[in-house]
Each structure stands twice: as C-alpha cells, then as structure tokens.
Amino acid sequence: MSELSRRTLLAAGGALLAAPTLAGVANAADANAADVDASTGLNWRSFLAGSDLVWQRLPKNWYDGPFLGNGFLGSGIYAEPGANAIRFNVQHSEVQDHRPEFGSLYGLARLPIGWFTLEPQGTITAVDWRLSLYDAELAGTITTTAGSIAIRAIIHNGRSTLVVQAKPSDGEAKFRWVFHPADAVSPRTDPKFNKPAPDGYLPNPQPTTQTSGPATLVTQPLLSGGEHVTAYQETARGTTRTLYATVAWSNPDKTAGGRALHAVRSAAGNSLDTLAWDHRAWWNAFYRQSFLSVPDGRLQSFYWIQLYKVASATRRAAPVMATTGPWLESTPWPATWWNLNVQLEYWLIHGSNHLELDSLTRALGQFRDNLTKQVAAPYDQDSAAICRTTDITLVNGATAGIPGQDPPTPEIGNLTWALHNVWLTYRHTMDTGLLRNTVFPLLRKAVNYYLHFLTPGSDGKLHLPKTFSPEYGVDTPDTNYDLALLRWGCQTLLDSAQILHVNDPLAAKWRDVLANLTPYPVDDNGFMIGAGQPFAMSHRHYSHMLSVYPLYLVNWEQPESRNLIQTSVNHWISFKGALQGYSYTGAASFAAQMGRGNDSAQYLADLLRLYVQANTMYKESGPVIETPLSASQSMHDMICQSWHGIIRVFPAIPDSWADVTIDNFRTQGAFLLSASRQQGVTRWVRLRSEVGAPCVVRHGIPGQVAVRDQHGRPLRFRELDATTIQIDLPAGGEAVLCRAGDRPDFTVAPVKSNGPSAPWGLTD
C-alpha cells in the first residue's frame, strides 16, 4: 500500500483526514493474522465468506454443483445420474483431439476424460457443503442411512491435482472410489444435439488401465498419435482416506504417462493439510489485488464468485477459455469460440486487476503463425484471420471465410475484435512491448485482410462485399460489425505507429480508409445489420452495435449520436424471442454508457433471475461460461469507465446503491483507482499512476475539489468542467481528491447490504 494508506494527510482548509485504509468485517484482533491485510485491516476470510456457495441439497448437474479448477484441471461435482453416488468430474483444458481434417468441432474438439464416483455404503439422504472462495476448497458432509462422510476437496493450484479427503464414520468405512473413463469422442456427437459427425470420423480407441505400485494409470491413445493419461491413487492415514488424481496430455509423443505418474506420486506423499498451504497462499493473495463492494448482497456475492470462476478457468499459461472452461460436459460447442465468447470471457480481468489470467494475449502472440496459415492464398502473404471456432493452438482445420465468396458466413472480424481485448490489456498496463510485439503486427495483418476486399462505389466511398454479422444469419455487404472493427483497427494502427515511432508505409492507406469508408448503415430503427439488411428479427448478439460498445467509436458523449444509440438499443432489446443472457449483460453496459444506472441494475437483475443457474453457471442449448463473466464487466461499467482518455468514477450507479467502495481498480492509462460513494455522493477518489500517463478524471465530487498527493501536499490540476480535472501525476505518484473543506471517512470497507440475500448454491 502507499504511504497515504499508512499515515494521515492534511487536507484542504487544514482539516486532518484519516488516510484511505481497508476495514474488515470482523475485529482484526480476533482474526487469524494471515487473513488480515497488515496495511489495510481488511479481514479477507470473513469478508469473502459472505460470498461462499452453500449446498444443503444434493446438486444434480453441472448447473447446480460445486466446481474446482486451476486453469488446466477442472472438476464439477454433483450426484451421479441414476445412482447412489457423488460424481467428481475430471476434465482438462489441454486435452483435445488432433485430426484437423474433421474440423474444430469434431477432429480438434475438446475430449472428455472421465469421472470418479464416491459410492457410499448407505443411501445418500443429505449433504451439507460449502465452497470457500478464499481457500478455493470444498468442505462438508455427506449423510447416508449408514452414517456420514466428511469431505474436503481442492484442485491444487500449482500441482494440477484433484485431492479429495474423506473421513467416514464407522458405518461408511467401506465406501469406495470408482473411476469411469469417458469415450474419447467429440461431445458434439451426442445424439441429442442432432449434429452427425463427418464421414470417416471414428471414435478414438478404448483406454487401457495398468497399475504402478499404489497408482493406477488410465491411458487414452489417440488415432492421431499422442495420448492423455489419468493417474490416481488413494492413501489412508488412520481412518482418513485421500484420493489424488491428475491428468497429463502429450501430442504427438506418448510421454503423458510418466508425467502423470510422477505428479500423482509426488502429491500423494503429502496430506491435504500440507498441500493446502501453498494452494491457499496463491488464492488468498489473488483476491487481495482489488476490492469491490456494493449494497446488493446477491450481486456482490455473484461478482466475487466470477473472480473465483475465471481464476479456476484460466491462467496466463493455460489455453484460451473454451465455451465450458475446463469443465467439459456434453455440449454442441466443444471448442473455443471467437465471435463473442472469448471476448466476453476476458473483459473482467482488466478492471479487477488480474492480468495474470490473460491467456488470450499470450495465445495470440504464441500462435500467431497459425492465424496467417488459415488465410487462403494469395491473401496469406500479408494477412491474418481467425475462424469462428478453434482448438487450443487457434487452429480450425480450414481457412477463414473470404468476403463475397462461398462458402457463406465469412466472419472475418473476429481476430480484430479479439485484438481489441489485447489492446485493452495494453491500455490498462501501457506496456509498449505488448503494443510493439503483439497488437501492432497482428492488427496490421488483420486489417490487411479487410483491405484486400475494399472497393470504391459509385458514391465515392469504400465498401465491403458480403460478410457475416454474428449471429444474424444472413450475409450482407457493409455489415456494421466489420465497418466498426475496420475503423477501430485503422485508427488504432495509426495511434500505435505514432506511439512506437514507426513510419509505416501503409499509414496513408489507413488514413484513406478512415476518410472514405462508407458510413454505418442506419434506418429509422437505428443501426442496421448491413447495407440493405435492416435489424428485423430477434437477435441475441449486439454485433451490429459494436461501434457503440465496446469500441466507443459512436458514444453517448457525442450529442449527435444519442438518438441513434437510444433508438438502436431500444429496437434491439425489444425483440425478446431470441435474446439470451449475454443480451442482458450487453444491454446493461449500453445503459451504463448512457449513465442510466437504474436500467443497468434492472438488466442485471433480469439476468440473474432468468438465466443464471444455482452455482452461477449459465446454459443455452449446452453449458457455457462467458455470460456470467461478462456480467462482472457490466458491473465495472457501472462503477468505472476509462475510455477515450477519461477516467469516469461512478458513472452509472443505481439509486439503490447509496454506498459503493472500490480499491485498486485498474483503469486505462495504468492507474489504480480507489473511491468511496457514501449516502449517494462521491466523497473521495484516489489514483495511483504506474507509468505517468495523462490523468484526466471525471470524479463526480460536488463543489470545489481539493487535490493532494500521498504526502498531503497540494497537486497541480486543471479544471476541464464542473467535475472533470486533469492532474499532473508522474509515474509512481498518487492523487487524493475530495471536496474542499470536507472531512470524509477515507476508510475503504465493505458497504452495508440493502437487505438479506440467500447464498448461491442450493439451500433450503
């Protein structure tokens, strides 16, 4: 923490103000010292316990049960269908097929691995479980007609091992574990999805099982070469029995068995208590990187569960999140989706200050050559694109669509949209190395692909042939999806070249596109899908309005754009038939841009009521994870926006949120923001600059504002309007803002809830 958070400062008018600190929900003196932040006083264990998921009824499926993960290994836990047992799924984000000739949804699909069943002696009559977010650990009891079994379970953060400790009563001493290998076939082939596999597609061979001392190895060979291996063993210490299980994958070599055996033996040499030390240390530190509290208790718990979920689903070194994360189930979507899912999955990592989870940026940099190889000749000489669906190496098995040609649905904007996420990482860190090495060269190739197809029309404007606006269902020239991404791409390339001092020979072409690209097609109902194609049917995706959000090319702060935005959003959301959960998160973010916090809160309330499941997962025709994660970004948009060089503090707070607290919220420009809203008024704001970028803040503090540094000395600033100032803030510097003469309480603490709320999970 800064010096300001450990001392007092002299504020305007000579009033002595307590420095910003964090206060716990329990007396620090009564808490375990390791759970209390020494600099801030927040008892993190007590605070996060209020968001733990609780089960007082037996969960029946993926949408109800606890889930564990570390970005690679994942386990969903629920009743074994049709049996008196508890299922612990074992799935892994790296395990996939390797037959590109059958495409990404079959030949490159994520492959199911299997599951363990905990099979008691008696009939299960009750469960009492709690998933601790703070420790990333499931604990509780299973009650049966023969006794009970106390369980604790983790997926170890660093070892990528499922560890389940069981303490049975005498009547359950002979419970057993059974492993059930799954058929190594694309989940899309499940008959209930009615999506037959391509001709010639065969299931992989049946696995083989062997033992090595106390360990069992289940080896799944693949027709393409390589394998994945599940290794497990059980140990007994007194009456306590502990299951250890891990998965290793290799392709094309067959080296997974040795690695899996070593991992499980290494883990099994330790008790769960021993393994929990460094596992907990990682998770406890993870949450402390930022803080957010709102008076809607249900939504606040939901938010912290999404942080647990995203850290369970990915890490920088892990694969880009597939539609189900590491918790693969029967699904028609056993791949990574690039026309919305990926983008929405990663938005929350920026504001929450968790860039250690940015596997998207890492993967686009690591596998960039595959993005060129998937462009058809002759465009592959200077272009790049990503197909709608890929495996973990960003390969689809076919080439990207060609605008104006067969096959239909040429979705060519997906790479540019994914690079917008990477650009957001740059903007939140101001890491010019990332801009130079990943954003600029890849975006240059993505824009080049567009440039091959731009042609002048009789109106003197540049036009695109038919492309596909996800997921409207018809190819259209001049889609708003592609026009917005092309405009954003050209402007970002010009800005990047200036920052990097690059004299690029294509700069003149980028400027020409910006000057002469055809305007966005609009009609009386707002943004159309494309030229000649009105928005005329229910459509869950807001691809036609990408220029408004998240690109902000057309935005609410342009008075001339307000009617177009309002008309477009109202028309889009009025078609209810095909709307899905992420339609509501998108609507919440549109409303937040308009400063309409009440509308944003209502959209999120509708989302939780209509779409979010008991454990905060989400389903359409199969399990997917992007929508709840994107709801966290909608909350961010209500609490802080930092686009176009302005940090907007509390821009869309609903009337019901009288108090809001944030700490170490990361903004564009590489600032860490802390702020407090009390009784409906912004009382104070603190900004710490990491790199010395220009600091413009729309603080919302009423009246004359006082600005001081972390030592209490006045800082120079310039008023731009009644609540917007520009501050001279160097790298490492801090600025604290409050109303001149005010004496606010600078404590950053959980705010009081508006009322009781039931925990997530399954309770009576």
The region of weakest confidence among 2-16, 171-185, 201-215, 220-234 is 2-16
Question: What sign does the dihedral 428-432-433-434 (CA atoms) show?
Answer: positive
| Sheet containing 176-181, strands listed edge to edge, beginning at the edge strand earlier in sequence | 67-69, 73-79, 86-92, 114-119, 176-181
pLDDT at 11 over 80: no
Q: What is the pLDDT of residue 619?
A: 84
Average pLDDT, rounded, for the chain: 93
452-485 burial string, b = 16+ CB within 10 Å, else e?
A: ebbeeeeeeebbbbbbbbbebeebbbbbbbbbbb
Q: What is the pLDDT of residue 577?
A: 74
Q: What is the mean pLDDT of residues 255-271?
A: 97
User: Domain spanning 53-287 has what CATH number?
Assistant: 2.70.98.50
Q: State pLDDT tens for residues 475-488.
A: 999 999 999 999 99
| Ranges of CATH 2.60.40 domains, the chain | 3-47+670-748
Q: Which residue has the tokens 């606010």?
A: 744
313, 594 contact by CB (below 8 A): no
Q: State pLDDT tens for residues 644-675.
A: 999 999 999 999 999 999 999 999 999 999 99
Sequential DSSP letters for 540-597: S--GGGTTTTTS-SS-TTSGGGHHHHHHHHHHHHH--TT--HHHHHHHHHHHHHTT-H
Q: What is the mean pLDDT of residues 280-304?
A: 97
Fold annotation for 364-559: Glycosyltransferase (1.50.10)
| Ranges of CATH 2.70.98.50 domains, the chain | 53-287
% residues pLDDT > 70 (the chain): 95
CA-CA distance, 623 to 131, in Å (whole number)?
A: 20
Q: What is the pLDDT of residue 539?
A: 67
Q: State pLDDT tens for residues 410-442.
A: 999 999 999 999 999 999 999 999 999 999 999
Tell me if the domain spanning 3-47+670-748 has CATH number 2.60.40: yes
Q: What is the pLDDT of residue 582?
A: 86
- Please, which pLDDT band fits residue 538 given cuts at 50, 70 and 90? low
pLDDT at 10 over 90: no
Q: What is the pLDDT of residue 412?
A: 94
Taking residue 495's Cβ as centre, other Cβ atoms within 10 Å add up to 13
| Nearest Cα residue to 746 out of 664, 674, 688, 697 | 674
| Ranges of CATH 1.50.10.10 domains, the chain | 364-559
- Please, which pLDDT band fits residue 733 given cuts at 50, 70 and 90? very high
